[in-house]
């Protein structure tokens, strides 16, 4: 049985480090930082770690309904979404993930855009 990217890169501990670094970049982004004012970042990082872990084949799952519910009132624009995806890709590259794994995760995130971006 083939190992999932989640397993290959070290499970929750590694995914958590990646997500923490990703949010450091997000909070430095003039376009994205405003979405996280007065937000419990520990909770956001915990949820995002589980989301990314699930996309990487880990033992967590998020439904599209859940994503839509959580993001419904945030007013996330397409530009903000694209910036976040670019920063996520950059963070994966910083952690030396294989390009094919990065592309697969990014593709899964982009496939859920309609549940995250305001319509």
pLDDT, tens only, 5-40: 999 999 999 999 999 999 999 999 999 999 999 999
Q: Is residue 37 part of a domain?
A: yes
Which range marks the domain in which residue 74 is found? 9-115
Q: Is residue 49 part of a domain?
A: yes
* pTM, rounded to two decimals: 0.93
Could you tell me the two tokens for 85?
């995806």
Q: Is residue 2 part of a domain?
A: no
Of 54, 62, 55, nearest to 103 (Cα)? 55
Q: Is residue 4 part of a domain?
A: no
Provide the CATH number for the domain around residue 14: 1.10.490.10
Q: Is residue 83 part of a domain?
A: yes
* pLDDT, tens only, 41-91: 999 999 999 999 999 999 988 888 888 988 988 999 999 999 999 999 999
Q: Is residue 1 part of a domain?
A: no
Domain total in the chain: 1
């Amino acid at each position: 049985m083939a190992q999932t990217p989640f397993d290959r890169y070290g499970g929750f501990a590694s995914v958590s480090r990646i997500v923490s670094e990703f949010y450091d970049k997000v909070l430095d982004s003039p376009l994205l930082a405003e979405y996280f004012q007065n937000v419990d970042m520990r909770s956001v990082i915990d949820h995002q770690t589980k989301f990314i872990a699930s996309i990487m084949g880990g033992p967590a799952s998020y439904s599209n309904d859940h994503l839509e519910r959580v993001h419904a009132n945030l007013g996330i624009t397409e530009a903000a979404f694209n910036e976040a995806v670019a920063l996520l890709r950059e963070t994966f590259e910083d952690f030396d993930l294989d390009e094919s794994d990065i592309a697969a995760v990014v593709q899964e995130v982009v496939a859920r855009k309609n549940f995250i971006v305001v319509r």
